[in-house]
Chains A and B, each alone.
Chain A
Amino acid sequence: MDQLILASEECDVVNEVICAPADVKELFEFTDVIFSIGPLGFTRTIILFFLAAFVVVGLLYFGLRKQRMVPSKFGVVIESLLDFVKNGIAKDIIGPEGARYVPYLTAIFLFILVGNLFEVTPLINFPITSRMAIPAFLAIVTYVIFVFIGFGKNKFRFLLDTVWPKHVPIGLRWLVGLIELVSIFLLRPFTLAVRLFANMVAGHLMLTLLLGSGVIFLSAFPEIGLKALVGIPWFALGLGIYLFEIVVSVLQAYIFTLLSAVYIQSSVHFEH
């Protein structure tokens, strides 16, 4: 949104009815290096990556540091979040073996949750998960974990039984095997990453276009007169989407974590 408002001079409020940047990348790529540590140049995006990490660490630290018999209200929220991942996701989906994956699942859930909620956080207004680096990396980690466990627990049966599923009628076996092979080893990491990425890109795009257009048109009232009223529906719609995006942020963090757990579960209990 900052970008769009800064670019309001470029918006042709006289001829257009909505302000869109010339290139969608303008909304997502911040290439200005604010400071550098060694070879790593810190752009706004990268600073937000670390901010998200420190927000998670901070929330956990302040929620858990005092070991009290009766936890504070904030402590209860943090404890129930952790309990939700531990019991609601890890143990429910994976079973007793799920305990081993609780640290990973908790870390991705909280990191993605905070990263997503940056989309609707005032002054930040940018979901770090809309940068492919985060979803891609986390999806690859999940992929490595479930493939590693699959082979570790089942040796090469993991691959063989996937390609040649014995519970399927022999005529269809090659077809199902092919679909399974592609789905498990190629599509899973891709869909996992793209689902999160695309949701956050779309959300950020809608919020910036609608809220940005609303503000730009309404503030152009002296120049364009009544046409400035076009900004009202944009702004109203933008506020509606804003609330919707809060739900999307939480939901996508949950879905990513849940699917990671489901994939791990399918390798832990690989029985065909």
Chain B
Amino acid sequence: MQFLIATILYQEEGESSSNVSLVLPETAELIAGIIAFAIVFFFVWKWALPTLNKTLETRQQAVSGELAGAEKAKVEAESLLSDYKAQLADAKSEGNRILEDARVTAEQMKTDLLAKAEGEADNIRSKARDDASAEKSRALSDARTQVGDISVELAGKIVGEELDADAHQALIDRYLGDLETL
């Protein structure tokens, strides 16, 4: 299509015969073209492609190296994780054991304390009971002594004032009065 247009344009110029030189390479341009292309070719051949290959190789090595490193790190991390997990499980069971021990100890202590407290209470109670009975018997013996004394005193008084009926009566009254004031 484009070639057709070009051809038509050539013909319009009416000088198609003289334009043959357009299709033939000029010697100077041919030489220059060969040199220019040779520059490109040798640069591509000797520098660009080897450089690119080297770059790609280093990049590949780096990537595979990084991958291997990552794999190693992953394995390490996994073993570390399982270690930690095992340790954690140990710690947990240890904790449970300690807790259980503590519970048992506490229970034991509670029972002991209770038993001790009960014993002590029993002691106090029995001591109180003993004290009370001792006090009672002491009070009783005191009372007995006093009643004897009072009876002796009363008998003396009765003996002292027996001659007189009135006195007798008065004695009784006084006695009663004494009893009331007692």
Contact B44 A79 (CB under 8 A): no
Q: Choose one: A24, A103, A137; the contact of B49 (CB below 8 Å).
A: A103
Chain A hits for B37, CB < 8 A: 53, 107-108, 111, 134, 137-138
Q: Does A73 contact B (CB under 8 A)?
A: no
In residues 3-57 of chain B, which contact A (Cβ within 8 Å)? 3, 5-6, 9-10, 12-13, 15, 18-19, 21-26, 28-37, 39-41, 43-45, 47-49, 51-52, 54-55
Q: Does A205 contact B (CB under 8 A)?
A: yes
Q: How far is the CB of B27 from chain A (nearest CB, A)?
A: 9
Q: How far is the CB of A131 from chain B (nearest CB, A)?
A: 5
Q: Does B59 contact A (CB under 8 A)?
A: yes
Q: How far is the CB of A85 from chain B (nearest CB, A)?
A: 10
Q: Choose one: B3, B9, B40, B55; the contact of A56 (CB below 8 Å).
A: B40
Q: How far is the CB of B19 from chain A (nearest CB, A)?
A: 6
Chain A hits for B176, CB < 8 A: none
Q: Does A82 contact B (CB under 8 A)?
A: yes
CA distance A137 to B32 in the complex (A): 11
Contact A201 B22 (CB under 8 A): yes
Q: Does B109 contact A (CB under 8 A)?
A: no
Contact A60 B48 (CB under 8 A): yes
Q: How many residues of A contact B (CB 8 A)?
A: 57
Contact A198 B32 (CB under 8 A): no
Q: Choose one: A45, A206, A209; the contact of B29 (CB below 8 Å).
A: A45
CA distance A69 to B57 in the complex (A): 10
Q: Does A177 contact B (CB under 8 A)?
A: no
Contact A50 B36 (CB under 8 A): yes
Chain A hits for B9, CB < 8 A: 20, 24, 205, 209
Contact A24 B22 (CB under 8 A): yes
Q: How far is the CB of A183 from chain B (nearest CB, A)?
A: 19
Q: How far is the CB of B20 from chain A (nearest CB, A)?
A: 10
Q: Does A49 contact B (CB under 8 A)?
A: yes
CA distance A79 to B59 in the complex (A): 13
Mask, A192-229, CB within 8 Å of B = 1, is 00100111011101100100000000000000000000
Contact B13 A23 (CB under 8 A): yes
Given contacts A23-B15, A53-B39, A111-B40, contact A202 B3 (CB under 8 A): yes
Contact A53 B49 (CB under 8 A): no
In residues 139-183 of chain A, which contact B (Cβ within 8 Å)? none
Q: Does A261 contact B (CB under 8 A)?
A: no
Q: Does A11 contact B (CB under 8 A)?
A: no
Contact A69 B62 (CB under 8 A): yes
Q: How far is the CB of A64 from chain B (nearest CB, A)?
A: 5
Contact B5 A206 (CB under 8 A): yes
Chain B hits for A43, CB < 8 A: 28-29
CA distance A205 to B43 in the complex (A): 32
CA distance A104 to B49 in the complex (A): 11
Contact B52 A46 (CB under 8 A): no
Q: Does B58 contact A (CB under 8 A)?
A: yes
Contact B29 A57 (CB under 8 A): no
Q: How far is the CB of A154 from chain B (nearest CB, A)?
A: 26
Most chain B C-beta atoms within 10 Å of own C-beta, residue among A28, A42, A57, A248: A57
CA distance A45 to B124 in the complex (A): 130
A-B contacts, 12 listed (Cβ < 8 Å):
A24-B19, A24-B22, A25-B19, A54-B39, A67-B58, A69-B62, A82-B49, A102-B49, A106-B49, A133-B25, A133-B32, A248-B2
Chain B residues with a Cβ under 8 A of chain A: 2-3, 5-6, 9-10, 12-13, 15, 18-19, 21-26, 28-37, 39-41, 43-45, 47-49, 51-52, 54-55, 58-59, 62
